[in-house]
Amino acid sequence: MIVWEEINVSLKKVCSKCNKNLIKIDEKYCGDCAENVEREKKQQWQYYDKVKRNQESKVIYQSKEWKKARTMTLIRDNYLCQDCLDSRITYATMVHHITPIVEGGEPYDVNNLVSLCDSCHGDRHSEIDKKM
């Protein structure tokens, strides 16, 4: 009888960013690429905060009320992306305003908030940008 814990099999795959380095099967990027991806994400958020985000809404996203509403929304949605549920299960990392604040949406009302993964959150904002 084979005991799986005793077999030291290390499955590997190629880094999804550089397609060169071998990484563990449960990782997405090699060490170098992971650092680059994190740096790029940070730069994108800095640009978004500086240029695209409504400057008045910055106060909202730094408030205790927002942090509480965000947490309550994630808990309500079981930390799952609500747009992905029809086809797959994906962890939510973002909380999105259904009716944008600039259009009169209530910033702290959990009924105006939905939990989304990064990809679906980007899709929702692409749709909003097309309408504007």
What stretches in the chain show pLDDT beneath 50? Answer: none
Determine the 3-state secondary structure of 111 from DSSP.
helix
Instruction: Check residue 130 and give its pLDDT.
Output: 61
pTM of the model: 0.60
Inter-residue contact 17 to 33 (CB < 8 Å): yes
Cα–Cα distances in angstroms (integers) from residue 34 to residues 21, 74, 84, 116, 126, in the given order: 12, 26, 25, 22, 25
The predicted pLDDT at position 40 comes to 87
**Residue 24: phi, psi to the nearest 5?**
-65, 155
